[in-house]
């Protein structure tokens, strides 16, 4: 039994990555391995989607979670799941809108830890996003992203279908069509983190994950990475 097996509503709130083995293994990597920066902390969950990681943070002891998500219908499903599992409304806030635009309205020092899970490759504004996070002066940033396999610090442009709720959204109001996004390489992620003022370490999936790799092939093959970053003093 993994964490999400106890909360199966999150297998239904979104089609994106809702495979039990994947969600449970990611919980171990993203939440359990970072309890020291989640427990009794104020969390900002960037691109919070259906609130699965916001919920996990609260179960891990976070005092409050603020999520930012562009798709209101996905937020509504997440709120319903929160309430179904008796999470009090005062413990979470979901802000609907563009991540960068919303973050620019938040006060520095309002959050201890920032989650950025599964978002860095759904935008063309990676550097602006990391600078916006740094402006908030969190103690820690937890980052999980798909990456291009390359030794060069590059960002690969690709189209994203905005009709897929697991893909990018348009800033325009029509919410339809195809937009360009960029998938960074690991050296690019590391270079941008350093430029934004973060020191970081990488979670070693190869040595720390001992179960099967079904649904986790990206991590096994180096196409997805998990990092923990701290703002340099």
Ranges 13-22, 54-63, 65-74, 91-100: which has the least confidence: 13-22
Q: What is the mean pLDDT of residues 61-78?
A: 94
Give the DSSP H/E element, type plus range, for residue 126. helix 126-135
List, for residues 192-210, the tens digit of each pLDDT value: 999 999 999 999 999 999 8
Q: What is the pLDDT of residue 176?
A: 56
Q: What is the pLDDT of residue 17?
A: 64
Q: What is the mean pLDDT of residues 28-37?
A: 98
CATH number of 3-148+185-231: 3.40.50.150
Q: What is the mean pLDDT of residues 104-122?
A: 97
CB atoms within 10 A of CB 197: 17
CB atoms within 10 A of CB 166: 16
Residue 136 contacts by C-beta under 8 Å, 6 or more apart in sequence? 44, 103, 106, 107, 108, 109, 110, 111, 114
Q: What is the pLDDT of residue 167?
A: 57
List, for residues 123-173, the tens digit of each pLDDT value: 999 999 999 999 999 999 999 999 999 999 999 999 987 666 555 565 544
DSSP symbols for 22-58: HHHHHHHHHTGGGGGGTTT-EEEEET-TTSHHHHHHH
Q: What pLDDT band is residue 174 in, cutting at 50, 70 and 90?
A: very low
Q: What is the pLDDT of residue 179?
A: 84
Q: What is the pLDDT of residue 194?
A: 98
**Beta bridge partners of residue 228, listed in sequence order:** 142, 201
| Residue 197, both tokens | 């003022």
Q: Cα separation of 159 and 93, whole Å?
A: 31
User: Where do the structural domains in the chain lie, given as residue ranges?
Assistant: 3-148+185-231
Distances (CA, A) of 176 to 1, 100, 134, 136: 39, 20, 31, 31
Residue 27 contacts by C-beta under 8 Å, 6 or more apart in sequence? 2, 3, 4, 56
Asked whether the predicted pLDDT for residue 68 surpasses 70, the reply is yes
| Residue 56, both tokens | 């996990």
Computed over every residue of the chain, the mean pLDDT equals 92
Q: What is the mean pLDDT of residues 106-126?
A: 96
């Amino acid at each position: 039994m993994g964490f999400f097996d106890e909360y199966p509503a999150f297998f239904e709130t979104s089609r994106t990555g809702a495979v039990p083995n994947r969600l449970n293994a990611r919980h171990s990597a993203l939440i359990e391995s970072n309890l020291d920066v989640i427990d009794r902390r104020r969390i900002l969950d960037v691109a919070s989607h259906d609130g699965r990681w916001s919920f996990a943070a609260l179960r891990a002891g976070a005092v409050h979670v603020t999520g930012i998500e562009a798709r209101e219908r996905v937020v509504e499903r997440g709120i319903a799941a929160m309430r179904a599992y008796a999470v009090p409304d005062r413990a979470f806030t979901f802000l609907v809108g563009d991540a960068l635009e919303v973050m620019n309205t938040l006060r520095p020092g309002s959050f201890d830890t920032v989650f950025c899970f599964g978002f860095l490759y759904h935008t063309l504004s990676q550097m602006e996003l990391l600078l916006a996070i740094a402006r908030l002066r969190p103690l820690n940033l937890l980052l999980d992203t798909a990456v291009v396999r390359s030794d060069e610090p590059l960002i690969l442009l690709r189209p994203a279908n905005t009709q897929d709720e697991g893909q990018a959204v348009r800033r325009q109001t029509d919410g339809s069509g195809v937009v360009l996004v960029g998938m960074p390489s690991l050296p690019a992620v590391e270079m941008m983190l350093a430029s934004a003022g973060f020191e970081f370490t990488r979670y070693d999936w190869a040595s720390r994950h001992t179960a099967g790799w079904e649904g986790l092939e990206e991590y096994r093959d180096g196409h997805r990475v998990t990092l923990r970053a701290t703002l340099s003093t």
